[in-house]
Amino acid sequence: MPAHKRVNWEFFAVMRGKLAPFSHATDEVAPVADRFWLLPPGYVHGWIGEPRKKSEVIVIHFNSVPNFVAEVVAEHGPISLSLTSADKQFLRTLAKMLKRHYWHPVRESEIHTERAMLDLCVLILRDRAERTQPLHASNSLGKVIAAENWLRDHLANNPSVLEAARGVGLSSSQLNRLFQQVRKRSPQQVLNQLKLDRAMEILGSSNAKLHSVAAESGFSSASNLCRAFKRFKGDSPTTWRQEIYIQYKKPRENQKAQHQSHGRRYRLP
């Protein structure tokens, strides 16, 4: 598979055969067996295997991952670990469950999806020393989480950082200091991410118009949503939504030509 940019977090497990990611056509990489990767959105990569040999993979994409996982990847780049036989059995079971909830969603499907994402994060972090480091943030983490929850609850009202600070009983300078201490990002950067996450959630699960998506996710207009999406994701919301549906949705009869064209884009000459 030629290198190209992904729009979401990509969990990629080699279940049978050998594969390895590469970023440039000139990269010299050695395909490996029984390996599990997590690669971030926007990371340009492809996959290479052994000539004339088949592989089996499990690939799962998510719009977002927990803050700690994102911080580890931001610091170290894509992370991976070796898979045991038990790990592969776990992944097969999880993938089968996710597939069922994807094609035939029920009201509790969102819960199963969230749990699966967390299970995958726990697995990918298994060999990381950072996961067992003591947390010396005192009650700072609790205040940051409270502010993030306040922002999530009020996204439709286009909240400001100052309003969030007041909502949790802090000054804006105190809130900024706590976010820099705990998240290594400003409250405004976190707010921007929360708005984008909410927009992607709506875009990927409904056919809502852009002005409705913007209103529900805290953007003042559809044009502001488009500008933010282009700046942070590299694509417009419409292109992102189309990419998600083309890759992961079964085509209707009148959409098959579009799906086939999409597939050809990523094939080697």
Tens-place pLDDT, residues 99-111:
888 888 888 988 9
pLDDT band at 261, cuts 50/70/90?
very low
As a whole number of angstroms, the distance between CA 142 and CA 154 comes to 18
Say what the pLDDT of residue 110 is: 87
- Range list of β-strands (E), 169-237: none
Q: Residue 57 forms beta bridges with which residues?
A: 14
- Per-residue pLDDT, averaged over 165-188, amounts to 91
Contact 88, 15 (CB under 8 A): yes
Q: Residue 49 forms beta bridges with which residues?
A: 19
As a whole number of angstroms, the distance between CA 84 and CA 120 comes to 14
Say what the pLDDT of residue 246 is: 47
- Per-residue pLDDT, averaged over 10-23, amounts to 94
SS3 264: helix
Say what the pLDDT of residue 184 is: 84
SS3 32: strand
Over 70: is that where the pLDDT of 122 sits? yes
Select from 2.60.120.280, 1.10.3720.10, 1.10.8.60, 2.40.128.110 the CATH code of 4-128: 2.60.120.280
Select from 3.30.565.10, 1.10.10.10, 3.40.50.150, 1.10.10.60 the CATH code of 140-245: 1.10.10.60
Say what the pLDDT of residue 268 is: 36
**Which tokens is 206 given?**
């409904």
Say what the pLDDT of residue 262 is: 42
Say what the pLDDT of residue 256 is: 52
Residue 15: name the closest of 42, 40, 51, 49 by CA.
Answer: 49
**Which tokens is 147 given?**
């502010």
Say which residue, 25 or 239, is predicted with more confidence. 239
Say which residue, 112 or 25, is predicted with more confidence. 112
What's the predicted TM-score (pTM) here? 0.74
As a whole number of angstroms, the distance between CA 81 and CA 36 comes to 5
pLDDT tens digits, residue range 197-236?
A: 899 888 877 788 999 999 999 999 999 999 998 888 778 8
Which residue ranges make up each domain of the chain? 4-128, 140-245
- Range list of β-strands (E), the chain: 4-5, 9-16, 19-22, 35-39, 44-49, 56-62, 79-82
Say which residue, 269 or 162, is predicted with more confidence. 162
Say what the pLDDT of residue 189 is: 92
Contact 204, 63 (CB under 8 A): yes
pLDDT tens digits, residue range 45-96?
A: 999 999 899 999 999 999 889 988 998 998 899 999 999 999 999 999 999 9
SS3 4: strand
Contact 55, 14 (CB under 8 A): yes
> In whole numbers, what is the pLDDT of the chain averaged over residues?
85
